[in-house]
Chains A and B, each alone.
Chain A
Amino acid sequence: MAEYKLELKGVCKSFPGVKALDNVQLSLRPGTVHALMGENGAGKSTLMKCLFGIYRMDAGEVILDGKKIEINNPDEAMKYGIAMVHQELQPVPARSVAENLYLGRFPTKGFGPFKMIDHKTMYAETERWLKEVKMDFDPKAQLGSLSIGQMQSVEIAKAVSQQAKVVIFDEPTSSLSDNEVEALFRIMNDLRDKGVAMVYISHKMDEIKRIADDITIMRDGTYVGTWPAAELSTDQIIAKMVGRELTNVYPPKENKPGEVIMEVKDLCSIHEKSFQHVSFELRKGEILGFGGLVGAQRTELMEGIFGIRGIASGEIYMHGKKTRIKHPIDAMNAGIGLITEDRRGNGIFGCLSIKDNVGVSVYNKFLKAGFVLDHKKINQVVDDSIKKLSIKTPSMKEHIANLSGGNQQKVIVARWLANDPDVLIMDEPTRGIDVGAKHEIYEIMSDLAKQGKAIIMISSEMSELLGMADRICVMCNGKLTGEIDQPEEMTQARVMGFATKF
Chain B
Amino acid sequence: MEKTKQQKAKDFIINNGVIIVMFILVIYTGLTSDNFLTRNNLMNILMNMSSRLVIALGIAGCVITAGCDLSAGRMIGFAACIAGTLLQRIDYSGKFFPDMQPMNVFLALIVVMAICAAFGSITGFFIAYLSVPPFIATLAMMEIVYGISLIYTGATPLGGYVKSYTDIANGKFLGISWLIWIAILVAVITWFIFNMTRHGKYMYAIGGNPQAAEVAGVPVKATMILIYMKAAAMYGLAGFMLGAKAGGASVNLGYGYEMEAIAACTIGGVSVTGGRGKVSSAIIGVAVFELLKAALQYLGVDANAQYIAIGIVIFVAISLDIRKYVAKK
Contact = CB atoms under 8 A, between A and B. Distances in A.
B199 to A, nearest CB: 9
B179 interface: no
B212 A349 contact: yes
Interface in A337-384: 338, 340, 345-352, 356, 359-361, 363-364, 367, 371-373, 375
Contacts of B214: 308, 328, 346
Contacts of B274: 351
Nearest to B204: A352
Contact of A346 (B196, B211, B276, B329): B211
B211 A345 contact: yes
Given A349-B275, A352-B275, A373 B197 contact: yes
A329 B223 CA distance: 14
A351 B196 CA distance: 19
B209 A371 contact: no
A361 B216 contact: yes
B217 interface: yes
A500 B129 CA distance: 40
Given A364-B198, A371-B198, A348 B215 contact: no
B208 interface: yes
A351 B276 CA distance: 7
Given A306-B215, A361-B216, A55 B329 contact: yes
B213 interface: yes
Nearest to B205: A360
A349 B215 contact: no
A168 interface: no
A373 B209 contact: no
Contacts of B18: none
Interface residues on B, range: 20 to 34
Contacts of B219: 329
B234 interface: no
B198 A332 contact: no
B198 A346 contact: no
Contact of A350 (B196, B209, B329): B209
Contacts of A351: 208, 271, 274-276, 325
Contacts of B195: 373
A363 B201 contact: yes
A415 interface: yes
Interface string B153-196: 00000000000000000000000000000000000000000011
B197 A371 contact: yes
A56 interface: yes
A346 B201 contact: no
B225 interface: no
Nearest to A358: B216
Contact of B202 (A308, A332, A360, A415): A360
A474 B202 CA distance: 37
Given A328-B217, A347-B212, A349-B212, A372 B275 contact: no
A137 B195 CA distance: 57
A332 B196 CA distance: 23
Nearest to A339: B215
Nearest to A401: B327
Contacts of A349: 204-205, 208-209, 212-213, 275
Interface in A288-319: 306, 308
Interface string B8-28: 000000000000000000000
B209 A346 contact: yes
Interface string A319-330: 000000000110
A360 B329 contact: no
A350 B197 CA distance: 21
A372 B208 contact: no
A124 B215 CA distance: 47
A188 B213 CA distance: 43
Interface string A226-261: 000000000000000000000000000000000000
B72 interface: no
Given A346-B212, A347-B212, A373 B217 contact: no
Contact of B208 (A56, A350, A373, A415): A350
Interface of A: 55-56, 306, 308, 328-329, 331-332, 338, 340, 345-352, 356, 359-361, 363-364, 367, 371-373, 375, 415
3 cross-chain pairs, A with B, having the tightest CB-CB distances, nearest first: A349-B208, A346-B211, A351-B275
Given A329-B217, A345-B209, A361-B218, 9 more contacts: A329-B219, A347-B215, A349-B208, A349-B275, A352-B204, A352-B208, A356-B204, A360-B205, A364-B198
